[in-house]
Amino acid sequence: MKNVFKRCLKIIALFDNLPNSNIDSNYIKDNIPEYRELSDGAFKRSFERDKVLLKEVGFRLEYENDKWTLQEGYKLEGRNIITQIKNTPNFNFESFSNTYSVIKKYLSPHFELNQNLKIIPRLSVASREKRRVSFLYNEKLRKVYPLGLRFHNGSWYLGAEDNKIVKTFKISNINDLKVGTKDNLHNNEIKNFTFTWEDKSEEISVQLRSNKNLHNIHKNIFIFTDSNQVIQDDLITLNLVTKDHHGFIKYLLLVSPEITNISSSNRELLLQVINGL
C-alpha cells in the first residue's frame, strides 16, 4: 500500500508541473519510476487501481479528447477544491469539515457492507441462531460457530469459535459461505466474546472532556465502554475504557480531547502505545 501512495503522490506532482496540459498514458508511464519497468499490461492494471484511489481522496483523473483543439490525454481535476471553498464569502468551513467527516464515516463501512451484502446478514443470523457455518478462508475450509460481527479500523470482521478457540476472520477474505440447518448448537454468549485485538490488549482507562459534536462524529472509529457522561453546552465529559489502542489513538488525533483524569499506570500504558506506533 505504501508504494501505491507513493505513485499517487508522484502522479499529482506530475500534473502540478504541467497544470494546463493533457498528458497521455505513455508520458505518465515514462515519468513515474514505479511504472517505468512494468509491462504494458501490469502498468494498465496498476494505473487503473491508482485512478480509483485518487478519486476516493478527491482527485478526478479523466481522459479528455477535444476534437476541436486536437488535444487529448489525461487531466487531473479537484486539486483546488479546498482553496475554492475557503475563499467563498461567508462559507462556514468548520461546519463543512464536520459534515464531511460524518459522511465519510458512514460511507466507508457502507461501501464494504455493499461489497459483502450477501455475507454479512447471513453471518449475523447464524450467530444469533447459534448455527454452524462453513466457508473458504484464504483457500482453506473452515467450519466454525459465528459469535458476532464488528467493524474495526476500516474493515468488517467475524468472531467465531474454531475448534474451541475464538478466532477473528476478515469478512472480505471469506468465500463460498454455507450456513447449517440446525440451530442452538452452542451456549456461547456474544456479550462474553472478545475479538483477537481485544484479547491481546491491556485496558486503558481515562476521563476525557471533548467537543460534543466531534465526539459523536468520531466515536465509532474505536471500541470502548463509557460511563458517567456529563453534557454541558458543547462539551461532553465521560469515563472511557478501551482495549482498542489503534482506534483510540486515531480518536485522540481527530478529536483532540482534554484528558482530565488518568492514573500513572494508564498514563504509562498510553505512552507505550504511542511510542509503539
Q: What is the pLDDT of residues 108-153, one digit of tens each?
A: 544 555 556 678 888 888 888 889 999 999 889 999 999 887 766 5
Q: What is the pLDDT of residues 161-170, one digit of tens each?
A: 888 888 888 8
- CA 84, CA 87: separation in Å to the nearest integer? 5
Three-state secondary structure string covering 11-61:
HHHHHHHCCCCCECHHHHHHHCHHHHCCCHHHHHHHHHHHHHHHHHCCCEE
- CA 208, CA 216: separation in Å to the nearest integer? 13
Phi, psi for 127 (deg, rounded to 5) = -70, -40
- Residues 6+ positions from 100 with CB-CB distance below 8 Å: none
pLDDT for the residue 151: 67
Q: What is the pLDDT of residues 209-223, one digit of tens each?
A: 999 888 888 887 777
Question: What grid cell was written down for 93?
Answer: 468551513
Among 115-119, 185-189, 210-214, 251-255, whose mean pLDDT is lowest?
115-119
Q: pLDDT band at residue 72, thresholds of 50, 70 and 90? A: low
Q: pLDDT band at residue 6, thresholds of 50, 70 and 90? A: confident
Q: What is the pLDDT of residues 92-101, one digit of tens each?
A: 666 666 666 5
